[in-house]
Structure formats: C-alpha cells, structure tokens
Structure 1
Amino acid sequence: MRWNAWAFLAVPLALFAVFMLLPIVMAAVISFTDYAIVGDSEWVGLENYTRIFQDAFFWIALRNTAYYTLLYVPLGLVVALGAALLLNRSRRAVRLFRTLFYIPVVSSTVATATIWYWLLNPQKGLLNVALGWFGIDGPAWLYDSQWAMPAIVLMSVWAGFGVNMIIFLGGLQGVPGDLYEASRLDGANAWQQFRYVTLPSLSRTTFLVTTLLIIGAFQVFDQAYVLTKGGPGNSTVTMVYYIYNKGFGALEMGYASALSFVLFLIILIFSLANARLSNPSGDAGERRSRRLARKAVSAR
C-alpha cells in the first residue's frame, strides 16, 4: 500500500523537483557569480548582495513596491470582502454575478491592461468622462508620476479580487448560523453582527487572503510592464520589473538572482509579520465571536 502511494506521488514530486527545486538551487548558485548568459561565469562571492544595498535604483524599486502594497492590500481586502458579503445569497441571480466577477481573474493580463489603458485615457477615457459628469477634472493617470501607481492599483484590484471573493464566500458559508440567530434574538443590529460575529469568525480566512495579497503585491510585474513600462519618471518600477530589466535587459543574471533572493526574504518577513499580527488559531475565532456578540448586546 505504501508503494502505491509513492507511485502516485512520484510524477508530481519529479515535476516539482525539476521545475521548482532545481531552478531555485541554480539561481542560488548563480547569485554568487557574475553570469551574463553569454560567456563564462565568474565567482564573485557576496559581491552581488553587497552591491544591492549600494544600488540607488534598488531603493526606488523597493519604495515603489512598498507604496503599491500599502494601497493594494487594504483595498483588495475591502473589495473582496464587500463583494463576498453582497453575494452571500442562495438566489439564482447571485450565481451569475459570482461568475461575472470571476471572469477578470481568468482573463489575460495583457488584455485586461489594454482595456484599462483606454479607460484611463486622459482625454477620452471612461473614468475621466465619468468624473467630468460631477465637475471633476480627472488626472492624466498613466502619464502622471503621482497617479500612475494608483491607476495600476485600481486595475490590479479589479482584475484579481474574484479569487479572494471566492475564498471569503467559503469562509462566510462556514460561519455557524446559530451565532447570527442568537445575536438577532439578543437585539444586535446588522453592524454589530458584522463587527462582533462575522469578522472574528473570518480571522483565518482574512489571514489567508491578506497573505496572498501581500505576496501578490510584492510580485507585481505585468501591469507595470504593459501599462507604463516603469514610467513616468521610474514611478512604477517595481522589484520584479527591476529584476527583469537586470536579468534580461542588462544580462546581469547573477545580480538579478541576488535581487530575487532579497525579494524572497522581504516577502517572507512580511508574511511572518502578518501571521504574527493575525494570529489565526483553530476555533478561537468562533469562541471570540460568541464572546463579542454577548458584549455587543450588553453594551446596548
């Protein structure tokens, strides 16, 4: 029986080793070399890593990525949770909207970026036209260094919130119904139910979605590459975009590999910090929901 299990696992394990572990090991070795694809590589030790902290452009890319993360993660969390709350129904029309909201996720990033490129057009874009109806003079968006990154964030949230919405829907459908019934009987209103029942019960789901959003934010590339090419004025150069330019533009594969491992370390630190702050633990969310629901009623 044990051999049958290993036989079924052999193929996926082999694929994982060849396409995941082997490239990671090779990238780790290359990060200690001066490798330019063409020609021989030269061992340079920690020189690539020490160079990173003296690279002014690295700090620009890191600052832009951090700015994108600060905008994208909270907005993506709120939009996904809000959509899940609206669609947490058993009606037939709701199923249609769930499908429609998920379509951008499976769409090509290039096609999505092309649509948003026209939506964000300063003169004839739909977004600025809509703002004009209210007497607001819309910005230049992708052509303005102050608004280019927020524009990319808007597109990213629209294109990716469907996945997190589905995750939140699963979490909402797992909240025990007796909690809502007990809170209603005790006189809790809709806001108190959301604050003291729904949110604590979704602690593990929120932790998962937040972690996925953080990882995705630090790995943003396609949107900046298609919409702005890192401009204007390097305001949308992200970490992955900078790694791409160094690796395939300047052919500095050793330095690009070192940047990749530094980015991995940054993502790991933020993910662990999120786990520390969220502290999802077993049925603690449900127990906390019951306690807070009683507290909300007693405070009335």
Structure 2
Amino acid sequence: MATTASPPRDLRPPTPVTAPPPPPGRRAARFRETLAAYCTLGPNLVLVTLFLLVPLVMALVLSFQYSTGLASPTWAGLANYRQLAGDPVFWRTVLNTAVFCVATVPVEMALGLGVALLFNKVMPARPLWRTLVYLPMVISGVATALIGTLMFDQNIGLLNKLLAVFGLPAAPWQTSGSTAMVSVVLITLWMRVGFNMVIYLAGLQGISPEMFEAAEVEGAGPWQRLRNITIPLLGPSTFFLLIMNVIYSFQVFDTVYVMTLGGPGHATDVMITYAYRNGFEGRQQGYAAAIGIVLYVIVMIFTALQWRFSRNRDTVG
C-alpha cells in the first residue's frame, strides 16, 4: 500500500500580531489630553518642588553642617546627629511629643466621632451647633493659644475661678509640669475636635440609610449597628484622621510656644519648639535641622506603617 509523505512542518515561530496604530485623529486627541493634564498638574508640581522638596533637601544638607546663619557653614559630618544621641533634653522632647500624641489623637478622634454621630441626627439648630464646634478650628493657632493662656492663668484664669467657686484649691497650671501639659492638651482638644467632626460627618453622610434600616429589621440594636456598620464603613475617614492628627501632634508648635514656652523646665517642650530655640535663639541651625530631619523620619515611618496596615486590612476584608 503506497503512502504519501506529509509536507514538512514549519518550525519558524509565528509572526506576532501587532495592533494597528491608532488613527491620527485619536493620537492628536490623546496628545491634547496628556498636555492638558501636565498643564493642570504643572503649577502644583512646581509649588511642591519649591516649597517642599527644595527646603527638605536644604535642611538635609544643613543637618550635616555647622551653621549660625551669619557666617559661612562648615562641614560637620554626623556630629549633629551624635550630639542628638547624647542630648538628654532632646530625648525629653521626644518623650513629651509622644505623650502629647497619645493624649490627644485618640481622644479627639473619639470626641469627633461622638459629636458627628450626635449632629448627624435631626435636632433643633443643628447648623448652629456644628458651627460652634468647628469655630475653634477656624481661629488661628496663636489666637486659640492666647485664649488658652487666659483660661489657665493661675491668678485671673477662668478655670481657677471655677475651682474656687466649688471650694477647690487653685491648680498650678503654669508652674507644674504635669498640669501645664494637661492645659496644652485640653486646648488642643478644644481646637481639633471640630476638624474630626467634619471628616466623620462627611463619612456618615456617605453611608446608605437602608443598611441601618435592614439591620434594625434584623434585630440589631444601636450598639451593634455602630460596631458592625458605622465604624467599619468609617474606616477610610478614620485612617485619614489618624494620619493627619499624628502629623499635627508631632508638628505642634504654636499652642505650646504661646502657652508655656516649653516650660516649666522642659516639661512641655516638644521637638519643634526645641528645634526652634536651637535654630533661632541658640543660632545652632545645623543642630536644629538635624532635629527636623529626625522628626521627618519618625513621621514618615509611622505613616508608612499605617498605610501598610490599612492596605493589609482592606486585602483581608
């Protein structure tokens, strides 16, 4: 029986199929969109570069120099950072900054959430109450600190007058370290609760009322609805507020400087006030820049950890 030979197989790789180029009209439209995007972002990028990146690089370079701001700086290497490591006042300011952060961030977020839940309901004069709570945030930090100074003055302050009405002794708001820190924390809470309230209110108004109605039909009580619906859906707002509040607490300056000047005896001194005094009063600008760089690294590490935690939580959820 005769057999026919099969034709030889083509072992060459297949020719890749390329998409046809877009028509000239589409390319022109895409170019115009890209150009419009760069024109829109360009001014913002220039401002960020001039007022954020350039000062950051200059501060980093200055932290490796001896500089008084009057004469030409000289190279110091790691001397400023070695001085930081052995400076007990610097470590005291780090501790004070951490204490201030722990004392303010959770409380202002909890109070902001509570006030937002209250003002999210129908109530008489609701816009007025919202405005009153947010009003301290509109006032400048220096003005708020001046109000706090008058309230906590040991001789003519409002709080000591109220303590006297109830027969209690006057509190040493300005001469005792612990009470001085308490006064700064209380004024900060008064100023920052409104900001937290506004962010949480925006998050609450983005939650569908049907979810609460369905949970109520299923028999869920107010606490269960808060724990299982409200708080989880406010996760993005909580994450944003946590980052912003921590950054603010690490960078607090005006309230501390106006109310206590960091005293008494460095009891309320934070990293920014210590850097300010070294840079502008002690003329040790290289040392002050090193403090600022350390503060920047601490804030960036915390922000990165929070961002990583938030991404992992969203992935698991």
TM-score by length of 2: 0.83
Q: Which residue of 2 aligns with 1:159?
A: 191
Give the equivalent residue in structure 2 for 1:297.
none
1:178-230 residue CA offsets vs partner (Å, 9 max, x unmatched): 22112211222212211222111112211111111111111111111000111
Q: 1:231 to 1:171 in 2, by over 3 A?
A: same
Match of residue 293 from structure 1:
none
Contact 1:68/1:150 (<8 A) preserved: no
What is the aligned counterpart of 1:40 among 72, 92, 99?
72
Task: State the shift of 1:60 in Å.
Answer: 0.8
Deviates more, 1:224-233 or 1:118-127: 118-127
| 1:15 is aligned to 2:15 | no
The unaligned stretches of length 5 or more in structure 2 are: 1-31
2:244 paired residue number: 212
Could you tell me which residue of structure 2 aligns to residue 49 of structure 1?
Answer: 81
Provide the secondary structure at the position in 2 that maps to 1:261: helix
Does 1:31 find its partner at 2:52? Answer: no
Residue in 2 that maps onto 1:116: 148
Pick closer, same or farther for the CA change 1:280–1:72 going to 2, 3 Å. farther
Gaps of 5+ in 1: 286-300
Shift in Å, 1:99: 1.9
* CA pair 8-278 structure 1, distance change in 2 beyond 3 A: closer
Q: Could you tell me which residue of structure 1 aligns to residue 8 of structure 2?
A: none
Deviations 1:56-88 (A, max 9, x none): 111011111111111011111111111111111
Q: Which residue of 1 aligns with 2:162?
A: 130
Task: Give the aligned partner of residue 146 of structure 1.
Answer: 178
Asked if 1:97 is matched to 2:129, the reply is: yes
Please give the alpha-carbon distance, in whole angstroms, between the structure 2 residues aligned to 1:124 and 1:39.
Answer: 46
After TM superposition, the score normalised by the length of structure 1 is 0.88
Measure the CA separation in 1 of the matches of 2:181 and 2:98: 11
Match of 2:253 among 204, 221, 231: 221
Following superposition, the deviation at residue 154 of structure 1 comes to 0.6
CA 1:276–1:34: 2 relative to 1, 3 Å: same
Q: What displacement does 1:269 show?
A: 2.2
CA RMSD of aligned residues (A): 2.1
- The one-letter code of the counterpart of 2:250 is F
Do structure 1's residue 168 and structure 2's residue 200 form an aligned pair?
yes
CA 276–9 in structure 1, closer or farther in 2 if over 3 Å, else same: closer
- Give the aligned partner of residue 66 of structure 1: 98
1:175-214 to structure 2, matched below 5 A, reads 175-214=207-246
The number of residues matched between the two structures is 285
Task: State whether residues 32 and 44 of structure 1, in contact with CA within 8 Å, keep that contact through their aligned partners in structure 2.
Answer: yes
Percent identity between the aligned chains?
A: 39
Taking the aligned partners of 1:84 and 1:162, their CA distance within structure 2 comes to 9
Q: Secondary structure at the match of 2:38?
A: helix
Deviation per CA, 1:249-285: give whole Å up to 9, x if none: 1111111111111011111222233345555755987
CA deviation vs aligned residue, 1:233-258 (integer Å, no higher than 9, x gap): 21011000001011111111111111
Q: By percentage of residues, which structure has more helix? A: 1
